[in-house]
Amino acid sequence: MRYYFHVRGPDGFVEDLEGAEFASDELAAVEAQAAARELMAAKVAKGEVVDGGQFEITTENGKIIDTILFKSVVKID
């Protein structure tokens, strides 16, 4: 199945034009979490505001199956 990781945040909407194949909704969500950690790490390194962004994981027909808040993947304690 092809999944799209659109980004919605304070700076607007970034459409994922290409998507990627995953065997299940769960595996797509796991990858989105890993990607969110990477995006957050880059923001932290640059001293940017890290609140507000999220992935909207959608299927090919546009159905949102999950949203991953970027800040939900950061472990503070």
Residue number, 17 or 49, with CB nearest to another protein: 17
CA–CA separation, 3 and 40 (whole Å): 21
CA–CA separation, 69 and 51 (whole Å): 9
For residue 24, what are the contacts with CB-CB under 8 A and spacing of at least 6?
1
Per-residue contact flags (x/-) with another protein for residues 13 to 52, judged by CB under 8 A: -x-xxx-x----------xx-xxx-xx--x--xx------
Query: Which residues in this chain contact another protein in the complex, by CB under 8 A?
Result: 5, 7, 14, 16-18, 20, 31-32, 34-36, 38-39, 42, 45-46, 55
